[in-house]
Amino acid sequence: MDIEKLIRHLEIIKNCILLEEVDILNIIVPKLEKYVLVYDKLQNVISAINNRNYANAIQHINMFLKNYKTITVWVDEDLQALKIELKILENQHNEYVNKKNDIEKLISDYQYKYNEEVSNIVTEILRLRTILFKDTDKYEEAQQDEEDFKQEIKEHQGREYFKLNEDEQKELKIKFRKASKLCHPDSVTNGMKEQAQKMFIELKKSYDNNNLIKVSEILEQLENSKFFHLKWEEISEKDKIQSAIQQIKLQIEILAKEIENIKASGVYQEIIFIDDWDIYFENLKKQLQQQLYNLQKEVANYNEE
């Protein structure tokens, strides 16, 4: 057990009481639980705080500090500061990962809805365009558009997409974020990157398809097995921490650029202005049906010629 960290927790608790910032105790006090098996007298501190007997809690804290503080070892404050900076950057990295995944999930949901609602109309529009442009310089482009969309439809038809209610959507998002943090390839040690990449791809696919059961299974597997070791947790030497800080800064920079590029895409720019998806797709369907009708007339005239 890290006695130095325990002492720091106790000092923070004591200062919170003295500053009358007792609300913060709900965050810090639970951190003492893991130390109780080794330092049983901590239970007196926890019990006093739970009973709101703060004066008694401070007495027990002072007694504990008096007995144990003299045996603590010297702490390199620069090293501690670097560890804190790395931890902050790790949290920032997780936020960027979550932001990117959320945007990609939004686009994935839009594409599924688009294919469900209007793919038949779009397929026919593209087929007619190919016929209409047969003897023009637009023919190859029209033909390629038709083939690309057919491939997209084929992938859509093979996709197992689950309908979730609002509570299930929230549960899916929470569980995905927990699992993502445990197996993201950027966060694990180098020797485990390949395995982490495979699991993360499976996790991401399940998330995009709203497969709450599969995401829950992956999260349970990750939490129970603790197979992947987060690389930041294994670093203790100052020079290695400094190197890790530069590495994670670079990863954050890459993620920020990827998010910027996704946000600049046409499909995302379309999505962000949609207030109601049902109304949007109803109007889109009407527009495409009118476009199809016009193309049908054009092709009929073309055939008559």
CA distance 189 to 187: 7
Q: Dihedral of CA 149/150/155/161: which sign?
A: positive
Query: What pLDDT does residue 305 have?
Result: 62
State the pLDDT at residue 65: 86
d(CA 242, CA 86): 8
State the pTM of this model.
0.70
**Neighbouring residues of 258: CB distance < 8 A, sequence distance ≥ 6:** 100
Looking at residue 4, its pLDDT comes to: 78
* Assigned token pair, 213: 């059961």
Would you state the pLDDT for residue 95?
A: 93
From first to last of its 305 residues, what are the pLDDT tens digits of the chain?
Answer: 577 788 888 988 998 888 888 888 888 888 888 888 888 889 999 999 999 898 999 999 999 888 876 655 555 667 777 877 888 888 899 999 999 999 999 999 999 999 999 999 999 999 999 998 888 899 999 999 999 999 988 888 888 899 999 999 999 999 999 999 888 888 887 778 888 899 999 999 999 999 999 999 999 998 888 766 665 555 667 778 888 889 889 999 999 999 999 999 999 999 999 999 999 999 999 999 999 999 999 888 877 66
Contact 165, 212 (CB under 8 A): no
Per-residue pLDDT at 118: 95
> Cα separation of 303 and 281, whole Å?
32
